[in-house]
Amino acid sequence: MYLYNSATHKKEELKTHTPNHVEMYTCGPTVYHFAHIGNLRSYIMEDVLEKYLRFAGYSVNRVMNITDVGHLTSDADEGEDKMLKGAKREHKSVMEIAQFYTDAFFADCQKLHIKRPDVVQPATGLIDDYIKIITKLLDTGYAYLAGGNVYFDTSKLDRYYIFNDHNEEDLAVGVREGVEEDTNKKNKNDFVLWFTKSKFEDQALKWDSPWGVGYPGWHIECSGISMKYNGEYLDLHCGGVDNAFPHHTNEIAQSESYLGHPWCPHWCHVAHLNTTDGKMSKSKGEFLTVSLLEQKGYDPLAYRFFCLQSHYRKSLVFTWENLDNAVLAYNKLLAKIANLKDEGGVDEAVRAEYRAKFSKEMDNDLNTAMGVTVLYDVLKAKTSGATKLAIIADLDEVLSLDLIAKAAALREKNAAAAAQSAGAFTVIAEDGTPDEGIENLIRQRADAKKAKNFAEADRIRDELKAQGIEVTDVPNGAKWKRI
């Protein structure tokens, strides 16, 4: 598979340390609030990538962290801890907040058919591992103690900026805007591995360490968690594009310095979902969540379809109109699949041909938009309904749009509606003013006739006549008028 590699700035063949096996790591959510649908765009695309790798014959071990400590409101080392901020907002403990929003995150993932990674590790669960890494970085001179905190010394690296060609000054300004300078740092980009001294003394979660009671920086968690569960050689690391700097840059710095060899050759970054007025954010205006989509009557999988229609490396603009267009296209696709008849047997040669067509698109830097168009080619193909359904089911292992089940449900719904309208007994008021009491009697009369209870039918007719109602039978119903 060819996948763009942000570390080399090229589309490259994915090469793995162990043949046919991918050790994959994905940066997980910071669980201080609900995920917005922008965050979930990243997870949808990473989910498709993982599923496609499996479809292509790799075994995959996918690991993800849950950030429940250490992520400050600035991605550099300043600001308030996001978790603490969430706990204060909701008058709960940090651990309660973490549990609640972790569960909410996975509930959203389930609705979007995002598979749970093989390993999910909350950051607070591996403190000893981070301490071990930091101890070695201090021993080998890659880290230093200053003002009670432990910092990584970026001047010890030959190459710090991996993902971009920005110069140091530009990046430093971007990161530091509006936040105080940490005077303990020897170099602008040095970052905290372990905090003991911070501006917020009410930090809820603290652990003992050789450097005093404190807590880990944000970046060290991903290195620690990945090395524990993916081993020393990671094949593929993913995240949203905002993670590239400083988070991923710092992950590489500390992991390679600790390991003494290259760590992860392939980096995949998902571009942002934006609103028309810019970056999606949890603090700005109406906060776009999966629950909000549902409240407005959208099927979460229509949002997944919307994401798959565009390339993961292009930023995507969210508007309700764009989503409505995706809903229309998704429903049309389902209607077409619902019209297929499962008959004629499966032609395995045709099935292999379309699987290969799909792979060709997906092998080209995960081109999901083109992958989706293969579905339309399948619908038009000259082959049996059973073959088409088999291919659609195959491709949906990766796309996860629930195509077969939803189409079957639609087919049943259509059949029930058709049966109902075919057999329905309609009562028409000739003067256009329906009357429930009279119409109920007319229906009872029809039921009695159907049951061959003609005496009862006549009795009801006489009762209606006594009320001045004349009933005329018409196909599938009756009409009535006052005389």
Give 283 or 420: the residue with its C-beta nearer to ligand AMP.
Answer: 283
Smallest separation, CB 286 to Zn ion (Å):
28
27 touches Zn ion (CB under 5 A):
yes
Give 246 or 300: the residue with its C-beta nearer to Zn ion.
Answer: 246
Give 252 or 323: the residue with its C-beta nearer to Zn ion.
Answer: 252
Residues of this chain, 220-259, that bind Zn ion according to CB under 5 A: 222
Task: For residue 16, give every residue at least 6 positions away whose Cβ sits within 8 Å of its Cβ, in sequence order, or none.
Answer: 22, 23, 58, 235
The residue from 272, 304, 388, 461 that contacts ligand AMP (CB under 6 A) is 272
Tell which residue, 236, 323, 238, has the closest CA to residue 45. Answer: 238
Report DSSP state, residue 262. Answer: -
Give 34 or 195: the residue with its C-beta nearer to ligand AMP.
Answer: 34
Burial class of residue 79 in the structure, from the number of CB atoms within 10 Å of its CB (0-12 exposed, 13-18 middle, 19+ buried) = middle
Smallest separation, CB 331 to ligand AMP (Å):
25
Give 273 or 403: the residue with its C-beta nearer to ligand AMP.
Answer: 273
Q: Do residues 85 and 203 lie in contact, with contact meaning Cβ atoms separated by under 8 Å?
A: no
Long-range contacts of 159-163 (CB under 8 A, 24+ apart): 160/189, 160/249, 160/253, 161/245, 161/249, 162/7, 162/248, 162/249, 162/252, 162/267, 163/6, 163/7, 163/244, 163/245, 163/248, 163/249, 163/267, 163/269
Count the helix, strand and coil residues of the chain and give each as a percent rounded to the nearest 5: 50, 15, 35
Residues of this chain, 275-294, that bind ligand AMP according to CB under 6 A: 279-280
246 binds, among Zn ion, ligand AMP, none (CB under 5 to 8 A by kind): none
Neighbours of 473 (CB within 10 A): 12
The residue from 70, 240, 246, 265 that contacts ligand AMP (CB under 6 A) is 240
Give 242 or 439: the residue with its C-beta nearer to ligand AMP.
Answer: 242
Number of residues that bind Zn ion (CB under 5 A): 2
For the chain, what is the radius of gyration of the CA atoms? Answer: 31
Residues of this chain, 41-60, that bind ligand AMP according to CB under 6 A: 41-42
Tell which residue, 464, 476, 477, 466, has the closest CA to residue 438. Answer: 464
366 binds, among ligand AMP, Zn ion, none (CB under 5 to 8 A by kind): none
The residue from 14, 38, 219, 365 that contacts ligand AMP (CB under 6 A) is 38
Q: Do residues 249 and 139 lie in contact, with contact meaning Cβ atoms separated by under 8 Å?
A: no
280 binds, among ligand AMP, Zn ion, none (CB under 5 to 8 A by kind): ligand AMP
The residue from 5, 6, 16, 30 that contacts ligand AMP (CB under 6 A) is 30
371 binds, among Zn ion, ligand AMP, none (CB under 5 to 8 A by kind): none
Burial class of residue 80 in the structure, from the number of CB atoms within 10 Å of its CB (0-12 exposed, 13-18 middle, 19+ buried) = middle
Give 311 or 443: the residue with its C-beta nearer to ligand AMP.
Answer: 311
Containing 366, the helix (H) or strand (E) segment is none
Neighbours of 15 (CB within 10 A): 9
Residues of this chain, 62-121, that bind ligand AMP according to CB under 6 A: 67
Cα gap 131→208, rounded to integer Å? 10
Smallest separation, CB 365 to ligand AMP (Å):
17
243 touches ligand AMP (CB under 6 A):
yes
DSSP string, 74-121: SSSS-S-BHHHHHHHHHTS-HHHHHHHHHHHHHHHHHHTTPPPPSEEE
Q: Do residues 315 and 271 lie in contact, with contact meaning Cβ atoms separated by under 8 Å?
A: yes
Number of residues that bind ligand AMP (CB under 6 A): 17
Give 199 or 279: the residue with its C-beta nearer to ligand AMP.
Answer: 279
Report DSSP state, residue 18. Answer: B
The residue from 86, 239, 265, 371 that contacts ligand AMP (CB under 6 A) is 239
The residue from 12, 80, 232, 242 that contacts ligand AMP (CB under 6 A) is 242
- Phi/psi for 244 (5° steps) reads -60, -45
Give 27 or 270: the residue with its C-beta nearer to Zn ion.
Answer: 27
Give 63 or 457: the residue with its C-beta nearer to Zn ion.
Answer: 63
39 binds, among Zn ion, ligand AMP, none (CB under 5 to 8 A by kind): ligand AMP
Q: Do residues 292 and 250 lie in contact, with contact meaning Cβ atoms separated by under 8 Å?
A: no
Chain residues that interact with ligand AMP, rule: CB under 6 A: 27, 29-30, 38-39, 41-42, 67, 239-240, 242-243, 270, 272-273, 279-280
Chain residues that interact with Zn ion, rule: CB under 5 A: 27, 222
